[in-house]
Structure 1
Amino acid sequence: MQGLKHFLLALQFFTRIPVTGALAAWVGYSPAMLRASTAHFPAVGAVVGTVAAGVYALLCLHLPSAVGVTLVAAVLSTVATVLVTGGFHEDGLADLSDGLGGSYSRERALEIMKDSRVGAFGAMALVLALLAKVALLALLGQVSLASAVLALWLGHVVSRTWPLLTIRGLPHVGDVAGSKSKPLADQISGPVLATALAWCAAAVALAWWALSALPPHWLGGLVQGERWPEVLASGLLGSGAGWALVHWRLQRRLQGFTGDGLGAVQQMSEIGFYLGVALALG
């Protein structure tokens, strides 16, 4: 029951899915509980990914079969994820881009990131990130519906696992007292990280099973020479590359992480996952 409370708290914190009233009172809240809820970040990704994949699949199945159908599905599934999460991670990417792009000074960069207004660097990063996601998801849908849906679902899970490694590996910096990520300022424990990795491993195993069990004509190019293990591995490598890039920039420029940095990690590792899958299908 404590694990369920931690999951619902993570869902409440990172999505707009209502956990209110008597349910919220039963779940409760404390900074220690929020730190423990980080173990279930990948599970939150599974919920968000299920919504996005469901929207993508329904649109592809019910819209007229035309050249642009996967593009429409990619755009509206991305809209669905933004509605579910409130653009939580996208906001972090924009703020981090403004901070790192607006000043070479660590202190000034942290000050810029606290400003709620979006600057030129943040706007460019946000537009390019959304375009990259939509383009890659539309491309995957042209290979097969199953490959796009599985990549979309698993990408959300995997991309919400990498931020925990950044929390584990870097100190929290900036205005801790006023930060949205204040409860995460303390290092997460080994058992919490192990639980998150178990969630992620279970999602990868489920995708592996689905790729093995689905009829061949559903998978398109994935089944040619049993390429699906290569596709999964490439997606994970691409996602890891996205995490490593942001982690390196946080370490070099800020000497630590902020809540905005964790949002940027999620966004870049999600895009990296889609790109890795697409490259493996090339």
Structure 2
Amino acid sequence: MKQQFHLLLTAFGFFTRIPIPYKFAFSQSYLNQCNRYLPLVGYVVGGISASVFFASSQIFSSTVAIVLSMITSILVTGAFHEDGLADVCDAFGGGWTKEKILTIMKDSRVGAYGAIGIILSLLLKFVSLNELPHSFIIKTIIIGHVVSRTMAVWTMHSLNYVREDESSKSKPITKALHIKDLVIAGAWSIFAFIPFFDVRIFLILIPTFITKYCLERYFKKWIGGYTGDCLGTIQQVTEQVIYLAILALAGYVAYQSSAQGQISNLF
């Protein structure tokens, strides 16, 4: 139990800015295994963001509340995943060889591709959440943060880590994820579906899996595997896809219910 507690603290210590009031010894072994708890990080980050949305929506409009919740998630994680997305946009947008892509990815500066990618990413998140009915937003935020992190964990198992030289600015990352850790992460993520009270919500996994698979194929083609920035990109992009999938599913169910003269209880 002590070891599992250390793994949990390692996950929060690396993937969030939440203060950890407990001293523990870092090891590569802990880093390799702590990703089994990455969905729990998603629950906490998503829960905090959803709580800010709920509290601020009592005072402001849903539009303002969504922006405040998005700012909160960025502050809690230190823009950890958003930074990865920006780096990937710059690297793959400006590089045409593996060496060039990895070199650009080391650069801490944000270029045009990265800036455009981040702006469009945040805009898409905002619009997707803002289109949802008010009562859907809290559980959508939570499931988005949880399942998208599970997709990133899955990539750690599916692809090989691209080893870079010591000058790399890549973040600390798992280099060998065991199937046991992937199964545990997947089990944690199932609980995020329960608040929807309908098995149809699992349909959102289809576009999410497809998106993850396509990104993995793209990364493997160009650099032969993944880096920490690639994982941040998978988390960000699949989170967006989850929001869009729930929005599309909600619209479809509402249309079907209207056509049948019934009120859906999906959400």
**Rounded Cα–Cα distance in structure 1 between residues aligned with 2:70 and 2:187:** 26
Give the structure-2-normalised TM-score.
0.88
**How far has the Cα of 1:272 moved from its partner?**
0.6
Give the structure-1-normalised TM-score.
0.84
Q: C-alpha deviations, 1:44-100, integer Å up to 9, x for none? A: 00000001111111122332xxxxx22211111000000000000000000011010
- How many matched pairs? 249
Residue 239, structure 1, aligned to residue 240, structure 2: no
Alignment correspondent of 1:80: 72
Residue 50, structure 1, aligned to residue 40, structure 2: no
**Rounded Cα–Cα distance in structure 1 between residues aligned with 2:9 and 2:219:** 29
**Rounded Cα–Cα distance in structure 1 between residues aligned with 2:46 and 2:30:** 24
Residue 120, structure 1, aligned to residue 109, structure 2: no
**How far has the Cα of 1:166 moved from its partner?**
1.2
> For residues 238 and 148 of structure 1, do their structure 2 counterparts lie closer, same or farther at Cα, with a shift above 3 Å needed?
farther
> For residues 32 and 265 of structure 1, do their structure 2 counterparts lie closer, same or farther at Cα, with a shift above 3 Å needed?
same
Alignment correspondent of 2:257: none
Alignment correspondent of 1:144: 134
Alignment correspondent of 2:59: 62
Amino acid in the other structure paired with 1:275 = L
Q: Are the aligned partners of 1:97 and 1:121 in contact in 2 as well (CA < 8 Å)?
A: yes
**Rounded Cα–Cα distance in structure 1 between residues aligned with 2:91 and 2:17:** 26
**How far has the Cα of 1:179 moved from its partner?**
5.2
Q: Secondary structure at the residue paired with 2:58?
A: helix
Unaligned runs of 5+ in 2: 252-267
Q: Secondary structure at the residue paired with 1:18?
A: coil
Residue 229, structure 1, aligned to residue 218, structure 2: no
Q: Give structure 1 regions of 4+ aligned residues with deviation exceeding 2 angstroms.
A: 176-183, 233-242
Alignment correspondent of 2:241: 272
Q: Are the aligned partners of 1:237 and 1:273 in contact in 2 as well (CA < 8 Å)?
A: no
**Rounded Cα–Cα distance in structure 2 between residues aligned with 1:45 and 1:176:** 30
Q: Are the aligned partners of 1:60 and 1:70 in contact in 2 as well (CA < 8 Å)?
A: yes
Identity of aligned residues (%): 35
**How far has the Cα of 1:269 moved from its partner?**
0.6
> For residues 176 and 194 of structure 1, do their structure 2 counterparts lie closer, same or farther at Cα, with a shift above 3 Å needed?
farther
1:72-221 aligned at under 5 Å gives the runs 72-140=64-132, 143-145=133-135, 147-175=136-164, 177=166, 178=168, 180-185=170-175, 187-204=176-193, 208=194, 210-212=195-197
Unaligned runs of 5+ in 1: 64-68, 213-227
Residue 5, structure 1, aligned to residue 2, structure 2: no
Q: Secondary structure at the residue paired with 2:88?
A: helix
